[in-house]
Structure 1
Amino acid sequence: MNETTQLLLASGAGFVLSSFLGPKIIPLLQRLKIGQSIREDGPTSHLAKSGTPTMGGMIFLVGFIAASLIAGGLSMDMGMIMFSTLGFGAVGYMDDYIKVVKKRNLGLRAYQKIIGQIIVAMVLILYYLNFSESYPQIVVPILGERTMALGLLTIPFLLVVIVGTVNAVNLTDGLDGLATGVSVIVFTAFGVLSYRFGFTEVAISSFAMTGALLGFLIYNYNPARIFMGDTGSLALGGALSAIALLSGTYIFIPIIGGIFFAEALSVIIQVGYFKLTRKRFFRMAPLHHHYEQKGWKEIKVVWVFWAATLILSLAGLFILS
C-alpha cells in the first residue's frame, strides 16, 4: 500500500466509523441522561441547548484510533499520538463525568485539570526528546528546518506550547460545529505538513482525525444533536500537540490554529483587563461569544471562523512553500 493510499484510507475509515457510531451512541447517551448543562452567565440563546447529549468526543476518538490502526498499524510515534489524545481526553472525561453524573457544574477544579494535563504533557515531551526523529529539528516559517537550541528552557517551553494548545482548543468548543469544523481544517493542514517533511505515520494520524471529525460533524453541526464535551476538546488539543511536536511543525500552531490562539488570547485579555480596570474588554469571552453578543447569528460566527481558519491554513502552507 503506497503512502497516498494510506492517507486516503485513514481519512475515509475515520469518516465511515464516526458517521456509523453517531446514531448508536447518541441514543445511548440520551437514555443515560448525559446532557449538557448550560451556564447561566453565557448567551441566553444557548439555554435552549440544555440537555443535549455531551461527551460525544468518544465518537470521533473511536473512529480516529481505529482508522489510524487500519491505515498505518501501530508505530512508536503513532502510539504516542494516541497516548496524548487519550491521555488529555481522559482528563476531559473526568471533568465531564463530574459535571454530568456528579452534578457539580464546574467539573474538575482548575488545579486538578492542570496537574492532569502537565502529567500527560511531560510524558509526550520526554518521548519527543528521547525517541522522536524530529528532535531537535523544527520547521520555522520562511527559514525552513532549523535546529532548536533552547537548552534548559526546552521542557518549560514545550510544556507551555502543549498545555496552551490543549486549553485553546477547549475554549473554542462553545458553538455548534465550531471546534469540530476548525479542527477538520487544522488537522488537514498539519497532515499535509507532516507528509511534506517525511513523517508519514504522523500524517496518517492527522488525516485519520480529519475523517473522524467530518463524520462527527454530521451530528455536531447546527442544530447539534450531540456535543463533544471536554472529553473531545481536550483530546483534540492533545492530538494536535503531539502531531505538531512529532513532525517538528509546532511553530505553525499559532498560524494554522490561529482561531484557537485568538480564542485563548481573548480570555487572557478579558481577565487581565477586568482585573486592572474592573471593566470588560470584550462583550463576552471567549471571542466567539463576543460576536454573538454583537448580534451575529451563531451559524454566521461558525462559518466566519471556519473561513478564517481555511485562510490561515493556506497562508501557513504558502509560507512553507
Structure 2
Amino acid sequence: MENIFIPFISMIITLVITPIIGKFNKKNGVFGVDLHKKERFDVPEAGGIALLLGTIPILSIYYILSRDLYILMFIFPVTIIGVVGLIDDLYNMPQILKTAACLLGGVPLLFFIKDTTLNLILFKMNLGLLYYIIVPIGITAASNLTNLLAGFNGEEIGLGVISTLSLSICIFLLGDIKTSIYLLTFTLAFLAFLTYNKFPAKIFPGDTGTLIVGATIASFSIIKNIEIIGAILLFPQIMEFLFKSIRRFGGKKYGPTKVDNEGILHPQSYLSVANLLTSHLKLTEKKLVLIIWFIGAIFGLISIIITYFVMVN
C-alpha cells in the first residue's frame, strides 16, 4: 500500500507546474483564443504537458523502485498519446497522420495482454487474434472521442476527473486496489489541472491534455478487461461523435457558438451535445459545463452500479 502516496504527489506536482507551463507557453506563442466570452482573451495552450510531467515521471520512478511491470501497461500508451497531442498542438498534424500515430499508443499494451476475452456484461466473447487488432483501435478511438467533446472552460478535463474517478471505483470494487490507486494518480492530476482550467480558464489542455484523458480511460479499461465500462463512461463523447458524423455527412460547415452581452450562449443550428442544451435552456458557459459534468456523473454512477451488481463475483 506504499503506492497510496503516488496520487497525492502527482497532484502537488501538477498544481505547481501548470501555471509555470502556462506562462512559458504563452511567452513562446503557444496560446489560443477563449471564444465563449463577451471579451475574448488569449489563453495558453498545450497545458496537457503538465499532466504528462505530473504523472509519468513519478510513476516511472516508482516502477524503478518497485519493478512492478504492471505500471508499464499504462505508462507507455498514455505517454505516446500525450506526445502525439503535443506535436499536434505545436505543429497541427494532418488528421490521417495523427490517427496513425495514436494507433502506436496501443501497441505496447499488446505485449502485456494475457486474456483476449471481451466482457460484454451479460456474456463474454473470446476474440482471439482479433483482440490484438481492436486494442490499438480502441486506444485511438477513446483518445479522439475525449478530444471531440471539448471547447468550453473545464469541460473535457472535468469529465476526465469524473470518468477516471468512476473507473477507479469500479476497479476497486473488482478487488484490485493497486490498479485503482494507479488510476487515481491521473484523476488527481486532472483535478489539479482543473483548478486552472475551470471557468474562467487560465490555461487550455490542448490536444496534449484531451488525448491523455481518453488514453487513460481506454488503457485501464483494457487492462482490467472491462472495456464496456470504459464505453459507458465515454457515452457523452460517443454521442458527440455521432452528432458530428451526421453534420459532416451533410457537408455544411458552421461557425462557433455566439455569446451575447449577458454571457448567454446562442448555438448555431447543428447537432452537438452543447447545442442541444443551449438551444432549449438559457445557459452561460459555466452553467453549460456544470450540466455536462452532471451528465458525465450519471454515466459514472451507471458504470459503478453495473460493476457492483453485475460484474463483481
- Pair 1:70–1:159, CA change in 2 (3 A): closer
- Pair 1:151–1:137, CA change in 2 (3 A): closer
For residue 317 of structure 1, what is the aligned residue in structure 2?
Answer: 304
- Pair 1:123–1:164, CA change in 2 (3 A): same
- Whether the 8 Å CA contact 2:15–2:193 is kept in 1: the answer is yes
2-side partners of 1:181 and 1:245: how far apart?
A: 22
**Is 1:93 paired with 2:78?**
no
2-side partners of 1:47 and 1:232: how far apart?
A: 26
For residue 121 of structure 2, what is the aligned residue in structure 1?
Answer: 141
For residue 217 of structure 1, report the CA deviation from its aligned partner.
Answer: 0.6
- Whether the 8 Å CA contact 1:77–1:132 is kept in 2: the answer is no
Give the TM-score of the pair, scaled to structure 2: 0.83
**Is 1:251 paired with 2:228?**
yes
For residue 31 of structure 1, what is the aligned residue in structure 2?
Answer: 27
Match of 1:112 among 80, 92, 97: 97
- Matches for 1:298-317 after TM superposition, within 5 Å: 298-317=285-304
- Whether the 8 Å CA contact 1:142–1:319 is kept in 2: the answer is no
For residue 24 of structure 1, report the CA deviation from its aligned partner.
Answer: 2.2
Alignment partner of 1:113: what SS?
helix
**Is 1:59 paired with 2:47?**
no
- Whether the 8 Å CA contact 2:44–2:202 is kept in 1: the answer is yes
For residue 104 of structure 1, what is the aligned residue in structure 2?
Answer: none
- Matches for 1:1-321 after TM superposition, within 5 Å: 2=1, 6-7=3-4, 9-36=5-32, 45=36, 48-69=39-60, 73=66, 75-98=68-91, 107-124=92-109, 126-127=110-111, 131-133=112-114, 135-141=115-121, 146=124, 148-272=125-249, 274-275=250-251, 283-284=269-270, 286-292=272-278, 295-321=282-308
2-side partners of 1:74 and 1:84: how far apart?
A: 18
- Whether the 8 Å CA contact 2:159–2:296 is kept in 1: the answer is yes
Identity of aligned residues (%): 23
- Whether the 8 Å CA contact 1:68–1:204 is kept in 2: the answer is no
Aligned length, in residue pairs? 292
1-side partners of 2:174 and 2:61: how far apart?
A: 22
- Pair 1:230–1:176, CA change in 2 (3 A): same
- Whether the 8 Å CA contact 2:103–2:137 is kept in 1: the answer is no
Is the deviation greater in 259-268 or in 209-218? 259-268
- Pair 1:289–1:15, CA change in 2 (3 A): farther
For residue 66 of structure 1, report the CA deviation from its aligned partner.
Answer: 4.1
Give the TM-score of the pair, scaled to structure 1: 0.81
Runs of 4 or more consecutive aligned structure 1 residues displaced over 6 Å after TM superposition: none
Counterpart of 1:20, as a letter, is: V
1-side partners of 2:26 and 2:298: how far apart?
A: 37
Q: Structure 2: 5+ residue runs without aligned partners?
A: 255-267, 309-313
- Pair 1:242–1:74, CA change in 2 (3 A): farther
- Pair 1:279–1:260, CA change in 2 (3 A): closer
